[in-house]
Amino acid sequence: MKFATASSPHTPSTGELNALMRQVIYALLPAIATAWWFFGWGVLINIAVASIFALGAEAAILLLRNRPLAPALSDCSALLTAILLGLALPALAPWWLAAVGALFAIVFAKQLYGGLGFNPFNPAMVGYVVLLISFPLEMTSWPAPQELATVSLSLVETLSYSFGGTLPATLGLDALTTATPLDAIKTGVGLEQSVAAISQSPLFGEFGGKGWEWLAAAYLLGGLWLLYKRIISWHIPAGLLGALALIATLFWLGDASRYASPLFHLFSGAAIIGAFFIATDPISAATTLRGRLLFGIGIGLITYIIRTWGGYPDGIAFAVLLMNMAAPTLDYYTRPRVFGQGGR
- 325 with 274, same domain: the answer is yes
Say whether pLDDT at 15 is over 80: no
Of 89-93, 172-176, 232-236, minimum mean pLDDT range: 172-176
pLDDT at 197: 93
What residues contact residue 90 under an 8 Å CB cut-off, 6+ apart? 42, 138, 139, 140, 141, 142, 143
Q: Indicate the residue type of 91.
A: A
Given pLDDT bands bounded at 50, 70 and 90, which one contains residue 8?
Answer: low
Q: With respect to residue 9, please indicate whether it lies within any of the assigned structural domains.
A: no
Q: With respect to residue 3, please indicate whether it lies within any of the assigned structural domains.
A: no
Q: With respect to residue 148, please indicate whether it lies within any of the assigned structural domains.
A: yes
Question: Average pLDDT, whole number, for the chain?
Answer: 89
What residues contact residue 102 under an 8 Å CB cut-off, 6+ apart? 49, 50, 51, 53, 54, 57, 81, 82, 85, 127
- 151 with 266, same domain: the answer is no
- 239 with 314, same domain: the answer is yes
Quote the CA–CA distance of 224 and 215 in Å, as a whole number: 14
DSSP, collapsed to helix, strand or coil, labels residue 29 as helix
Instruction: Tell me the CA distances in angstroms from 60 to 53, 72, 101, 147, 275, one per residue in order.
Output: 10, 12, 16, 42, 32
Q: With respect to residue 11, please indicate whether it lies within any of the assigned structural domains.
A: no
- 238 with 183, same domain: the answer is yes
- 170 with 222, same domain: the answer is no
pLDDT at 60: 95
pLDDT at 13: 52
**Count of the separate structural domains present in the chain:** 2
- 246 with 263, same domain: the answer is yes
Q: What is the mean pLDDT of residues 196-213?
A: 88
Nearest CA among 317, 294, 292 for reference residue 306? 317
The per-type count for the chain, helices as H runs and strands as E runs, is: 16, 0
- 125 with 220, same domain: the answer is no
Q: With respect to residue 89, please indicate whether it lies within any of the assigned structural domains.
A: yes
Say whether pLDDT at 3 is over 50: no
Positive or negative, the Cα torsion across 77, 79, 82, 84?
negative
Q: With respect to residue 235, please indicate whether it lies within any of the assigned structural domains.
A: yes
* Residue, of 338 and 320, whose pLDDT is higher: 320
Q: Phi and psi of 264, rounded to 5°?
A: -60, -45
Of 70-74, 109-113, 264-268, minimum mean pLDDT range: 70-74
Q: With respect to residue 272, please indicate whether it lies within any of the assigned structural domains.
A: yes
- 187 with 159, same domain: the answer is no
Percent above pLDDT 90 for the chain = 67
Given pLDDT bands bounded at 50, 70 and 90, which one contains residue 304?
Answer: very high
Quote the CA–CA distance of 49 and 26 in Å, as a whole number: 19
Range of the domain at 127: 16-176
Q: What is the mean pLDDT of residues 102-117?
A: 91
Q: How far is CA 179 from the centre of its chain?
A: 19
Quote the CA–CA distance of 50 and 63 in Å, as a whole number: 20
Nearest CA among 119, 76, 85, 121 for reference residue 103? 85
Domain end point (choices 134, 156, 176): 176
- 281 with 158, same domain: the answer is no
Say whether pLDDT at 216 is over 60: yes
pLDDT at 33: 97
* Residue, of 146 and 12, whose pLDDT is higher: 146
- 236 with 188, same domain: the answer is yes
pLDDT at 146: 80
Q: What is the mean pLDDT of residues 46-74?
A: 91
Domain end point (choices 176, 191, 208): 176
The radius of gyration of the chain from alpha carbons, rounded to an integer in Å, stands at 21
Q: With respect to residue 339, please indicate whether it lies within any of the assigned structural domains.
A: no
Given pLDDT bands bounded at 50, 70 and 90, which one contains residue 1?
Answer: very low
Quote the CA–CA distance of 166 and 134 in Å, as a whole number: 23
Q: What is the mean pLDDT of residues 237-244?
A: 97
Domain end point (choices 147, 176, 205): 176
Is there a contact between 23 and 229 (Cβ–Cβ < 8 Å)?
A: yes
- 112 with 135, same domain: the answer is yes
Say whether pLDDT at 324 is over 70: yes
Q: What is the mean pLDDT of residues 86-110?
A: 95
CA angle 279, 282, 283 (to 5 degrees): 105
pLDDT at 343: 53
- 108 with 251, same domain: the answer is no
